[in-house]
């Protein structure tokens, strides 16, 4: 917690600064860590693969499902109401469309999620029930991050995995936001208007750092799942067995094994 304490100390020395600026300063170091995970480096190099993207969509769906359900449930809470923009920002339906495109109408039966994603969703449920003011940390880092890089990442994804149309890329589109820059200014203004005590503000800064840490864990778990899948597929190719097993079945089997191992390691899914 040295990073948290250091960031909190530096930011709280300037009690008049905006909450959005304080979060930006407090998460500067861990933001760099998140950008340097293997999954994000693949994105930056334009080397994202279809398996990577599909697994990422699965985790994003669970994360946004938890976040948006908690935001809806606390829509009138003074710590949530100022930043509640379901028409402009909601991602759940876009993710459902993308998942249906890649997995078919019964996509819910085929979604595979790592333990880190369950930890993330559990955290969102916990603060939504017990301390809704902390939701601002997750909403800010997720929505404004997606809004800022959405168009660029969408183009990278489309080119990397060879999508000929916009199908499968709904997540990156924000039709309710005509000007991302103006909307981000509005969002920060609303966010900065939330009334917080000194202790509550410190809690939000810590929660923002935790949000990045949880995202890093998700990225790392997804990469491990992909590594297990690739190894399983490679072993099958070497064996050259007469029976032909559909590649999708291989992916589902190997990922299922990986998730099961993660479950054993955690004792129980906790996010």
Tens digits of per-residue pLDDT, 139-169? 999 999 899 888 788 999 999 999 888 899 9
- Interior/surface letters 170-201, b for 16+ CB within 10 angstroms, e for the rest: bbbebeebeeeeebbeebbebbeebeeeeeeb
Q: What is the pTM of this model?
A: 0.80
Could you tell me the residue ranges of all domains in the chain? 17-236
The phi-psi region of residue 165 (left if phi > 0; otherwise alpha if psi is between -120 and 50; otherwise beta) is beta
What is the reported pLDDT for 230? 54
Nearest Cα residue to 187 out of 222, 143, 130: 143
Q: What angle do CA 163, 160, 47 make, to 5 degrees?
A: 160
Lowest mean pLDDT among 90-104, 126-140, 216-230, 246-260: 246-260
Give per-residue pLDDT as tens, 97-138: 999 999 999 999 998 899 999 999 999 999 999 999 999 999
Q: What angle do CA 258, 259, 260 make, to 5 degrees?
A: 90
As a whole number of angstroms, the distance between CA 12 and CA 81 comes to 24
Higher pLDDT, 258 or 154: 154
Give per-residue pLDDT as tens, 167-184: 999 999 999 999 999 999
DSSP 88-142: HH--HHHHHHHHHHHH-TTGGGT----HHHHHHHHHHHHHHHH-GGGHHHHHIII
Fold assignment, 17-236 = Heme Oxygenase; Chain A (1.20.910)
Q: What percent of the chain has pLDDT over 70?
A: 78
**pLDDT average, residue stretch 206-215:** 97
């Amino acid at each position: 917690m040295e990073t948290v304490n250091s960031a909190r100390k530096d930011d709280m020395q300037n009690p008049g600064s905006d909450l959005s600026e304080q979060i930006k300063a407090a998460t500067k170091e861990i933001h760099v860590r998140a950008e340097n995970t293997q999954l994000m480096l693949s994105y930056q190099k334009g080397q994202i693969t279809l398996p990577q993207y599909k697994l990422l969509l699965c985790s994003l769906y669970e994360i946004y499902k938890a976040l948006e359900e908690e935001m809806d449930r606390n829509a009138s809470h003074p710590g949530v109401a100022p930043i509640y923009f379901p028409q402009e920002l909601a991602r759940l339906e876009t993710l459902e469309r993308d998942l249906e495109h890649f997995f078919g109408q019964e996509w819910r039966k085929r979604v595979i999620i790592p333990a880190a994603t369950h930890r993330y969703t559990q955290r969102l449920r916990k603060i939504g029930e017990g301390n809704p003011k902390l939701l601002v940390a997750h909403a800010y880092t997720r929505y404004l991050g997606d809004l800022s890089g959405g168009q660029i990442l969408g183009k990278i994804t489309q080119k990397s995995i060879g999508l000929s149309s916009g199908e499968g890329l709904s997540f990156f589109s924000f039709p309710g936001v005509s000007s991302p820059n103006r909307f981000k200014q509005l969002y920060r203004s609303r966010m900065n208007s939330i009334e917080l005590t000194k202790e509550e503000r410190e809690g939000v800064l810590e929660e923002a750092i935790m949000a990045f840490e949880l995202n890093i864990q998700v990225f790392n778990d997804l990469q491990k799942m992909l590594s297990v899948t690739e190894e399983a597929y490679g072993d099958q190719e070497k064996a050259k067995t007469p029976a032909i097993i559909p590649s999708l079945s291989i992916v589902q089997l190997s990922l299922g094994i990986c998730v099961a191992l993660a479950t054993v390691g955690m004792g129980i899914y906790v996010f």
